[in-house]
Amino acid sequence: MSKIGFQIYSLGCKVNQYDGAVLRRQLEQRGFVISSYPKLVIVNTCMVTHNAIIKDQRLIRHLIKKFPKSRIVIMGCWSEIDQGIRKIFSDQEVLWWGVGKIKQLVQRIVRLYSLELDQKIIPQSNLIAPTDRSRYFVKISDGCNQFCSYCIIPFTRGRLKSRSSQEIIKEITLATQDGYREIVLSGIHLGRYGEDLKDGKINLVNLLKEILKIENLGRIRLSSIEVNEVTPQLIKLIKQNKKICPHLHISLQSGSNKILKLMNRPYTTTYFTKKVDSLRRALPEVALTTDIIVGFPGETEVNFQDTYKFAQKIQFSKIHVFSFSAHQKTKAFNFPHKVSQLEIKRRSQILRRLSEDLEKKYQQKILNKYQNKKLSLVVEGKKNEKYRCKTEFYFDLQLSKIDLTKNILI
């Protein structure tokens, strides 16, 4: 089988990154090779915001110009839901693909190059989805049932689809054997894992318990979870097991109950506060990161100040700030009382400054407490004789001296 050079670019969320890694693995198993002069260029698109679509367009145009003789494959959420993309690139020879069905996509690509599928048994060591990261991201589910008014994901990825626990355990076992010291569980609606499998014993907590049994497991991190899915059972499990990182990413989106209702978020600020209080009673040092959308239609200055004050009150360890933008297929696209882009930019800058202050405060709190203790570290890179390390509390440290065998600070 001849060797065909390819490159793949995945934009957007961790689930998209995982899909891209799986695609890369399967192409390499068929004899394709990563190349600086590819005959095949694949773009795994994102469309979670208007800015994400702009990035898609820019990257695709850049790659078409850079590799004019290469075959282009455009896949992912943007390709799945927006037929307008085909008009933009109608002059190019493009293979259009949607979300998922990676095996079928590989078969299609193989046929395009007149290659035969390799029917040999794939070595177990190749069953993981390799990335350039030192942490391994594993997709445990896809799709979402929430239908927030601003979000296109349920339309692009569909309803919740959980992977079998056996398949997940096998992949994490192999990733651990391959040397990955942190496993990050990823999914669009992580806390609902297993609900669609119609087995009362399959849920996120029970999956975590099975993962903890894996020999030589480093540590586990949850990529994100909804506040109403942080159950007492999950809190107890994190408290009892040091291999689960004391870090939860819980999206707030707004600190105004009026805006939360318009967003179709399943909680109020009172509920959010009570859940955080219960978390911190059990895990006083827990890192709480969040997402906040700025400039949602109808967000007044008072509503924004409510969000600012609420974020201060909760004392997040980091805030990911997103400027509002909605696809035309979402309900929020047609909501009245739009906020100007200039005002959105101003509010975003204010929240980002708050995030910087909260990050510094939280990091200093942890570093003071662990002054004579060891932090668990995963080394993610080295630059200028400094190691960039990820702590269990999610923030990074730049260190010149590391015990690489134990991944701990010395």
14-29 and 102-112 helices, crossing angle to 10°: 40
What is the C-alpha R_g of the chain?
Answer: 22
pLDDT at 50: 73
What per-residue confidence (pLDDT) applies to 270?
A: 98
Specify the DSSP class assigned to residue 39: S
Single out the residue of 262, 273, 270, 352 nearest to residue 300, CA to CA: 262
CA distance 290 to 355: 10
5-112 — its CATH code? 3.40.50.12160
pLDDT digits (tens, 9 = 90+) for 297-318: 999 999 999 999 999 999 999 9
Strands 386-391, 396-399: pairing kind:
antiparallel
d(CA 117, CA 110): 7
Kindly report the pTM of this predicted structure: 0.84
User: Which parts of the chain register pLDDT below 50?
Assistant: 119, 121, 124-125, 408-410
The pLDDT, as a whole number, for residue 121 is: 45
Q: Which helix (H) or strand (E) holds 103?
A: helix 102-112
The domain limits of the chain are 5-112, 127-245, 377-409
Q: How far is CA 197 from the centre of its chain?
A: 22
pLDDT computed for residue 346 by the predictor: 97
Tokens of residue 338, six digits: 């739009």
pLDDT at 124: 46
Residue 242's CB: how many other CB atoms inside 10 A?
A: 11
- Contacts (Cβ under 8 Å, ≥6 apart) of 195: 160, 162, 203
Q: Mean pLDDT, the chain, as a whole number?
A: 86
CATH node for 127-245: 3.30.750.210
pLDDT given for residue 134 in this prediction: 79
